[in-house]
Amino acid sequence: MTKKMNGTVALALVALALSAGAAFADETSTTSVQAVAPKLTDKLILSYTGYLYGPNFGKMDGRTTDANFGVEENGGKVVNLDSNFKLGYKLSSDVSLSGTFRYISQETVGKGGTLKDSWLALSHGHAIQRGNFNSAFELRAYLPISDASQAANKITAFRFNQNSNFTFGDLTAGVYSYIRYDVVGNTGGAGTQQLYLYAAPNAAYQLSKTVAATMWIDLAQYEKDIKTANNSIYYDGGVDIEPGVSWDITPNINVNPYINFFPGNARADSTTINMIISAKVL
């Protein structure tokens, strides 16, 4: 009788243990699912990138320069901030949809801010990834809301970007490039640039956890006016070199001051002080 009772008690204890274990497993499973479920804010992208084009070394008078190797006295470019506000949604850890609004504070002498074309983009941060190599792709469709696009009767524009790089320890080197084609209506005349080609080798060497030395070379900057009579006129933006320093002020805020000069025409008035400002909210 005692043995039978002891066996019954043992079976009851085993059943109780199994029941508790199952309940614990269900609770743990539910808790785990809840822990990894992404919040809406985890799926959203909200960021700002500003390109500050500063003065040249020849005349620190608030004027900047461009590939024309100098500053025009009348109507020339002035120090300006090219602001890009981005809002997007992450479709996955690598793929996102976004929209970017662009505004330049002051582009030419005597004029105020300038509204630029905005764009929608589909991006893949790791389209190709093999070991230390990564290639990111982005496809843009532009909204011709600027005065310049309206005057040129632009319907839209398509642009494909790629950013590929290798990482070797503290050194990252790669190439950023894009091709853009503008869709212009029948009334868009000659002088409307329609094809853009751009390529820029670049590198960064990590000096510390938050500071890196950077180098960017605008190697190819071509614009073609397809509407011209001979169909073969290119504008060559020239080669310019941009050494700088990147500093992560916080994990979400970065500044990258750099100097821009043209080796083919290295002069004080064609060498400028500039900065890229990046901030991530979400």
pLDDT digits (tens, 9 = 90+) for 249-282: 999 999 999 999 989 888 887 888 999 999 999 9
Statement to judge: residues 12 and 50 lie in one domain: no
Q: Tell me, yes or no, whether 137 and 174 share the same domain.
A: yes
Domain count, the chain: 2
Q: Is residue 163 located within the same domain as residue 250?
A: yes
Residues whose CB is less than 8 angstroms from the CB of residue 121 and which lie 6 or more positions away in sequence, other chains included: 88, 97, 98, 99, 100, 138, 139, 140, 141
Q: Is residue 17 located within the same domain as residue 75?
A: no
Query: Within this chain, do residues 31 and 64 fall inside the same structural domain, yes or no?
Result: no
- One domain for residues 174 and 147: yes
- Alpha-carbon torsion angle 255, 261, 263, 264, nearest 10: 140
Please name which of 47, 51, 69, 61 lies closest in space to residue 257, comparing C-alpha atoms.
51
d(CA 38, CA 258): 38
Residue 173: helix, strand or coil by DSSP? strand
Regarding whether 77 and 22 lie in a shared domain, the answer is no
Given a cut of 70, is residue 93 above it in pLDDT?
Answer: yes
Q: Is the pLDDT of residue 119 over 80?
A: yes
Indicate whether 32 and 108 sit together in one domain.
no
Tell me, what CATH number does 112's domain have? Answer: 2.40.160.40
b/e 153-191 (16+ beta carbons within 10 angstroms → b)? ebebbebebbbbbeeeeeebebebbbebebebeeebeee
Residue 114 binned pLDDT confidence (cut-offs 50, 70, 90): confident
- Is residue 26 domain-shared with residue 94, that is, in the same domain? no
Is residue 237 within 8 A of residue 199, CB to CB? The reply is no
Q: Are 7 and 67 found together in one domain?
A: no
* Token pair 């040129």 in the structure block, residue: 152
14-50 per-position pLDDT tens digit: 444 445 444 444 544 444 455 567 788 999 999 999 9
Same domain, residue pair 8 and 77: no
Phi, psi angles (nearest 5°) of residue 250: -135, 175
List, for residues 182-226, the tens digit of each pLDDT value. 998 876 555 566 889 999 999 999 999 999 999 999 999 888 876
pLDDT (0 to 100) of residue 231? 52
Separation of first and last alpha carbons in the chain: 70
**Host domain of residue 219:** 41-280
Q: 23 and 104 share a domain?
A: no
Average pLDDT over residues 111-130: 93
